[in-house]
Amino acid sequence: MDGCCEVGKKQNRLEQLEKIRRKAEYVFALAGNPNVGKSTIFNRITGMGVLTANYPGMTVEFNLALTEFEGRKVGIVDLPGTYALGAISEDQLVARRGVLQGRPDLVIVILDANNLARNLYLLLQFMDLGYPVIAALNLVDQAEKAGTHTDQQLLSEILGIPVVATVGIRGDGLDELMHQSLEMALKRDEYTVLPFSYAMDLESRIRKLAQYSKKELAETPYGLSHRALAILLLEQDKELTSLVREMPAGEGLLELSREIGAEIENEHGDRASLVLARERHGIAGSIAAAVQERKTYNKPSLGERLWELTTSFKTGIPILILALATIFVAIFVGGSYLATQFDHFWSSLVADPLARGMTSLFGANAFSQSLNWAVDGLGAVLGIALPFLLVFYIILAFLEDTGYLNSTAFLTDRFMHRLGLHGRAVIPLISAVGCNVPAIMGTRVLSTKRERIIASTLIVLTPCSARIAVIMGGLALFAGWAPALLLFGIIFVVLTAAGLLLNKLLPGESTGLVMEMFPFRQPSPRIILKKTWQRLKDFLYIAAPLIVVGSFVLGFLYETGWIFKLTVVLKPITEWWLGIPAAAGLALIFGFLRKEMALAFLLVLAAHLVPGVMENSPLLDFMTKGQIFTFTLVCAIYLPCVAAFGVLWRELGWKEALSIGASTVLLALVLGGLSHLIQLATH
C-alpha cells in the first residue's frame, strides 16, 4: 500500500478537506473511540507518521492525507477519537462537523473487539445519520488471547454492512478494508443505509416528526435525512436546533419536536435524549451478545496482571514512584553520557576548526566573533539539550506504547478530583510532559470552561520536555541530582497548590472518569523510534535554528557592547532579588521563544563572558550551584514558550491567557527570590 500524503497545517482543516476532495476520487473518514487504534490504522494506510498513543485526549483536530490504492486517489480523514457524536465536548463536535460539513463518501468505523458493545454505539449513530458505513473490527488478536471470539460474518449480517477483521499495529486486514471501502464507494448510489428500528412507541413518533419535516422543509441542514433530523431534534441537539430555527417553517418543526419529546418523557420518565441513548445501548449490547463468545480462563494474561498491579492503589503508587525514579535515573545517566560524547565530538572536531576558519575568512571583528557565538549555540544544542531530549522521548514513547500512561491516569483520578478536574484531564496533563502545546489543545475534550482553565493552568506549570532538558542538562549536570530532585519536588507542590486554590476560587464541580480498561501491550521498537524521531525533529528543525540565530544576536550585542547596557535594566531583578548575574536574565528572556534556549544561551554567555573558563564546566565558572538552582527554578515556572502561550490565547481568550502568564511570572519571581534569601540565610 503506497503512502504518499499531503499535509496542511496552516489553513482551516475544512478548507484543506475541500482541497483533498478536489484531488481525490473518494474521501473516507475514520471514526472510533480514542483507544481502538484508529490513528495507527490511519498511519498504516497513509504512511503519514502522525503521533499516536494508547490513551485518549491528545488532540481534537482531525488529520488529513491523500493516498493511493488500486490506482485510485483516496482522501483519508482521521476524525478525533470520540465515543459519541453529540455536541457536548469539543472532540465530539469536531468529529461530527468533519462528517456533516466534510461530506465523506464513506465512514470507516473502527471497533474494538474487546469492547464491542461500547463501540457499536457510535456506529449506530452513524447509521442513524444515514451515512454509508463499513466496520473495521480491530484488536481481534488481543480479544482472542483474552478468550473473546467474534463471529465476524454474523456481525456483518446483523448490521447489514461489511465488517473486516484488522490488527492495525501489524497492518493485518487493512488491504481488505480499503478494497471493501472502494467497492462500497463505487456502489454508493446503489447502497442504502438501513438504520435499526427503536421500540415501537419511539419509532412511530420519530416517523411522525420525520414526515412533518419532509412536508414542511425544502431541504435539511447538512443534507441529512428527515429521519436523522427528527432523531437529533428529539435529542435536543443545540446545533441542529439553532439551524432549524432559522429555516422557514422551522419553528413549527421545533414545536412539534418539543411536544413529542414531552410525550416520551411522560411515558418513560426521562428526557427523549436519554431514552434514545438507552435504546441505542440496548441494541448495541444485544448485537454484541449475539456475535461474541467468551471463554473464561483461570489464569489472566501478563498484560491483565500488569494492569491490575498498576491501577490498584496499594501496588500502583509504589510502582509509580519506582517508575518515576527509574525515569529520572535513566535521563540523568543516559543524558549525561550522551552529552559528554556529543560535547567531546563537537569541541574537538567541529567547534575549534570552524572558529579558526571563520576568523581567517572574515577577520577578527564583531561579525566573525558573533558567528563564533552561533557556533557555540549549536554546540549547546548538540551537547546539552539534544542528549537529554533524546533519552526522554524514547522513554515517553515506550510508556505510551505499553499503555502505562493509561493506567496512571486511572490510578490518579481520585487525586485529580481534588484539583477540580475529572479523570480525562489527567491525559492532557501527562502529555504536557512531552509538550505543552498539544496538551493545551487536548483540554478541548473537557466539557466546561472552568475545567479547561484549571487544566491549562496546571499544564503551563508542568515541566515539558524542553524544561526537563534545562533541569537535567543544567541543574543536574552541573549541580548534581539532589538539587534536580528538589526542584521537581517544588514543582509538584506548586502544581498541587495551584489546583487546590483554583478548585476553591472557581465555581463548579468536576465529573467522573470514563475510560476503557485494556491490558498492557508489547511495544514496537520501530514505532518507538518513529515517535522519538517525529518529536525530536521538531526540536532540530524549529528550536535549533532559533538557538543558533539567537546566539548570533547575543554575540553581536556583546561584541558591540550593547549587552552591558541591557543588563543594567535587569540588575534590580536579577542581581538584587534573584541573586543571579544580570546577563543570565537575558537568557531567561530569550527562553520565552523556546525553553531550551534559556540553557543554551546561558552556556554561550558563560563561555564568552568569563575569561579563562574551564572547558569541562563553563557554567560553574560563571555561576554558583545555588545561582544555577535559582535560574532553573525561575525558568521552569515562568511563562510557557511563545507557542504554548499563543495556543493558550487561542483556546481560552486573551484575558485568561494574560492572567495565567502574569501569574506564572509573578510566582517564578517570588520563588526565585525566596530561593536566593534561603541561600543567603544558610551560608
When pLDDT is cut at 50, 70 and 90, the band that residue 492 belongs to is very high
Specify whether 539 is located in the same domain as 427: yes
- Look at residues 105, 49, 51, 41 and name the one whose alpha carbon lies nearest to residue 73: 105
195 in any annotated domain: no
Predicted confidence (pLDDT) per residue in 466-478, tens digit: 788 888 888 888 8
Instruction: Tell me the residue ranges of DSSP E strands in 188-322.
Output: 292-294
Task: Give every CB contact of residue 462 below 8 A, 6+ residues apart in sequence.
Answer: 429, 432, 433, 436, 439, 491, 495
229 in any annotated domain: yes
Q: Is 285 helix (H, G, I), strand (E, B) or coil?
A: helix
Q: Which three cell numbers stand for residue 118?
A: 461500547
Predicted confidence (pLDDT) per residue in 562-600, tens digit: 877 777 888 899 999 999 988 888 888 878 877 777 887
Task: Give every CB contact of residue 569 below 8 A, 6+ residues apart in sequence.
Answer: none
Specify whether 208 is located in the same domain as 184: no
Annotated binding site: 32-39, 43, 46-47, 57-61, 78-81, 138-141
Domain-terminating residue out of 241, 260, 294:
294
Length of the chain, in residues: 683
- Cβ contact 235:241 at 8 Å: no
pLDDT at 550 over 80: no
Task: Give every CB contact of residue 633 below 8 A, 6+ residues apart in sequence.
Answer: 487, 490, 668, 671, 672, 675
3 in any annotated domain: no
When pLDDT is cut at 50, 70 and 90, the band that residue 671 belongs to is very high
3-state secondary structure 126-144: HHHHCCCEEEEEECHHHHH
Specify whether 220 is located in the same domain as 84: no
- What is the rounded distance in angstroms from the CA atom of residue 65 to the CA atom of residue 6? 5
DSSP state of 81: P
- Residue bearing cell 540565530: 549
Q: What CATH number did the domain enclosing 224 receive?
A: 1.10.287.1770
496 in any annotated domain: yes
Sequential DSSP letters for 194-213: -PPP--HHHHHHHHHHHHHH
Q: What CATH number did the domain enclosing 23 receive?
A: 3.40.50.300
pLDDT recorded at residue 637? 93
Q: Which range of residues forms the domain containing residue 92?
A: 13-190
Total domains, the chain? 3
Specify whether 96 is located in the same domain as 114: yes
- Cβ contact 554:604 at 8 Å: yes
Specify whether 554 is located in the same domain as 450: yes
- What is the rounded distance in angstroms from the CA atom of residue 642 to the CA atom of residue 635? 14
Domain-terminating residue out of 259, 294, 329:
294
- What is the rounded distance in angstroms from the CA atom of residue 57 to the CA atom of residue 438? 10
Q: Which three cell numbers stand for residue 638?
A: 515562568
Specify whether 338 is located in the same domain as 385: yes
Specify whether 77 is located in the same domain as 175: yes
pLDDT at 55 over 60: no
Predicted confidence (pLDDT) per residue in 252-298, tens digit: 999 999 999 999 999 998 899 889 999 998 999 999 999 998 876 55
Specify whether 402 is located in the same domain as 524: yes
- Cβ contact 210:226 at 8 Å: yes
More confident: 149 or 448? 149
Q: Which of 315-319, 533-537, 557-561 holds the top average pLDDT?
A: 315-319
pLDDT recorded at residue 431? 65
Specify whether 427 is located in the same domain as 524: yes
- Cβ contact 234:260 at 8 Å: yes
Specify whether 155 is located in the same domain as 289: no
57 in any annotated domain: yes
pLDDT recorded at residue 615? 42
- Look at residues 168, 68, 574 and name the one whose alpha carbon lies nearest to residue 401: 168
Domain-terminating residue out of 143, 164, 190:
190
pLDDT at 527 over 90: no
Predicted confidence (pLDDT) per residue in 95-123, tens digit: 787 888 878 899 999 999 988 988 999 99
pLDDT at 2 over 50: no
Specify whether 585 is located in the same domain as 441: yes
299 in any annotated domain: no
- What is the rounded distance in angstroms from the CA atom of residue 373 to the CA atom of residue 232? 63
1 in any annotated domain: no
- Look at residues 543, 532, 535, 622 and name the one whose alpha carbon lies nearest to residue 378: 543
- Look at residues 96, 123, 100, 101 and name the one whose alpha carbon lies nearest to residue 110: 123
Specify whether 382 is located in the same domain as 260: no
- To the nearest whole number, what is the mean pLDDT of the chain? 81
Task: Give every CB contact of residue 493 below 8 A, 6+ residues apart in sequence.
Answer: none
- What is the rounded distance in angstroms from the CA atom of residue 407 to the CA atom of residue 55? 9
- What is the rounded distance in angstroms from the CA atom of residue 401 to the CA atom of residue 550? 36
Annotated binding site for GTP: 32-39, 57-61, 78-81, 138-141
Annotated binding site for Mg(2+): 43, 46-47
308 in any annotated domain: no
